[in-house]
Amino acid sequence: MSKLTDYQVTLQIPAENLSANKKRGAIVSEPAIQVRRKGKGTQVWTIEKLENRLIDMRDLYQEWKEKIPEVRKLLGKRGDPFYEAQENHNLIGVANVFLECLFYDVKLQYAVPIISQQGEVAGRLHVEVMRVTGSVPERIAEGDDSSENSSESGSLEVTDNNGEIIHRAKKLSCRVKIKEATGLPPNLSNFVFCQYTFWDQCESTVAAPVVDPDVPSPQSKDAHFNVTFSHCKDYVVNVTEEFLEFISEGALAIEVWGHRCAGNGSSVWEVDSLHAKTRTLRDRWNEVTRRIEMWISIQELNEMGEYTAVELHQAKDVNTGGIFQLRQGHSRRVQVTVKPVQHSGTLPLMVEAILSVSVGGLTARSTKLQRGLDSYQKEEDDGGDMDSYQEEDLNCVRERWSDALIKRREYLDEQIQKISNKQEKTE
């Protein structure tokens, strides 16, 4: 029939098995059918889909054997059961966001890895989860009687720092944000969207992408695609024993779907290419690195009684950020800010606190060899580009010339005095 279609058996991980809520010990992978057609992309069918297609394949083959001329004319009008001509959408992978952060009043920002059905990292999904209103009781220690800590309605008691029982709100409001997906392969980068179901919601939530027509699509086969989302949704749930167990051990499984792009069907998503293509050193290094930036400012008490940052003069020869213009006799303090740099790595490194700040390497300032603080402000107007070493050399030369001129003047004064005191003077 000249279909030029090849079928092979492979293994893939179903979408439901990619969720972190899947029970451990169960079989993760299941057999699937890999469909290849010359000049087309690779498709993966389930066993059920192949069984349904086999019926249509046999019927079409039987008609093709009996009525060759008539069937060939109708092949273009009828659906082709041997290959899916128009695919709806394909699963890129699943990102699991653990919800243990809801126990604490802190915002979780994390680039969650997107795990594909081949068990590979297919990108990162940048999400944000936080608790908006309500409170969550501490997790019950193992061995405690749950009936002592819960009422008939299933609500738990909350105690403050003094041990007094506080009435806990029965409802909890939390917020889920999906910011962007990075590192996606371009062959499934056409209209990428996310889908998830939060706790006891009946319907799934869909996060649509922000489409920017001015941003061109990557053309390289090894390029990676980034998709921006503006999804933000608040959920109000009843705090029960089941919900507390879910957020302590479970995760929010976010499915990332995409449509296949034309011309990118034979990219890295083929199974053979996935096994043959090794991860680059840059990708591996990106998972174990995270850049942290530190900002330091010296603040002085101004006339209004407020601490304000002092002026910082940039100098080419100063590698510590610049020269702080401090004033004598003013009360001052040092402010240090440390935070991770965005898109500098995927290592989950967060700065919790700054324990101490030490200032060292102080040197006494020489008024002879260095200029006054006000002279730095005039440097840009004068157009001076000299560094500190050149200034010190010039100051040394200036002082030596001054000493030499003083000695020369004293010598000349002495000679003039001798001549003036001489009694017999000649021309």
Examine the domain organization and report whether 124 and 175 are in the same domain: yes
Expressed as residue numbers, the domain containing 426 is 390-427
Examine the domain organization and report whether 305 and 396 are in the same domain: no
What mean pLDDT do residues 150-161 have?
49
Domain final residue, candidates 277, 303, 327? 277
Question: Of 90, 130, 93, 139, which Cα lies nearest the Cα of 112?
Answer: 93
Examine the domain organization and report whether 210 and 121 are in the same domain: yes
Question: Of 203, 201, 149, 210, which Cα lies nearest the Cα of 174?
Answer: 201
- Structurally, the chain folds into a number of domains equal to 4
Residue 425 has pLDDT above 50, yes or no: yes
What is the model's pLDDT at position 342? 78
Examine the domain organization and report whether 158 and 227 are in the same domain: yes
Q: Domain for residue 327, yes or no?
A: yes
Q: Domain for residue 372, yes or no?
A: no
Q: Domain for residue 96, yes or no?
A: yes
Q: Quote the CA–CA distance of 370 and 392 in Å, as a whole number.
A: 7
Examine the domain organization and report whether 138 and 49 are in the same domain: no
Examine the domain organization and report whether 192 and 230 are in the same domain: yes
Name the β-bridge partners of 8. 34
Q: Domain for residue 9, yes or no?
A: yes
Examine the domain organization and report whether 174 and 247 are in the same domain: yes
Examine the domain organization and report whether 130 and 242 are in the same domain: yes
What is the model's pLDDT at position 405? 92
Examine the domain organization and report whether 122 and 215 are in the same domain: yes
Examine the domain organization and report whether 11 and 103 are in the same domain: no
What is the model's pLDDT at position 51? 84
Q: Domain for residue 200, yes or no?
A: yes
Examine the domain organization and report whether 47 and 186 are in the same domain: no
Q: Quote the CA–CA distance of 14 and 32 in Å, as a whole number.
A: 10
Q: Each residue of 103-155: pLDDT tens digit?
A: 888 888 888 888 888 788 888 899 999 988 887 776 543 444 444 444 444 44
Examine the domain organization and report whether 125 and 200 are in the same domain: yes
Backbone angles phi, psi at 139, to 5 degrees: -65, 140
Domain final residue, candidates 277, 310, 326? 277
Residue 167 has pLDDT above 90, yes or no: no
Residue with more model confidence, 367 or 351: 351
SS3 30: strand
Return mean pLDDT, the chain: 75
Q: Each residue of 309-330: pLDDT tens digit?
A: 988 888 777 777 778 888 877 8
Q: Domain for residue 361, yes or no?
A: no
Domain final residue, candidates 356, 378, 411? 356
Residue 177 has pLDDT above 70, yes or no: yes
Helix (H) or strand (E) holding 128: strand 121-133
Query: What is the DSSP pairing of strand 158-159 with strand 165-166?
Result: antiparallel
Q: Domain for residue 62, yes or no?
A: yes
Q: Domain for residue 384, yes or no?
A: no
Q: Each residue of 9-56: pLDDT tens digit?
A: 888 777 777 777 766 666 677 788 888 877 676 777 788 888 888 887
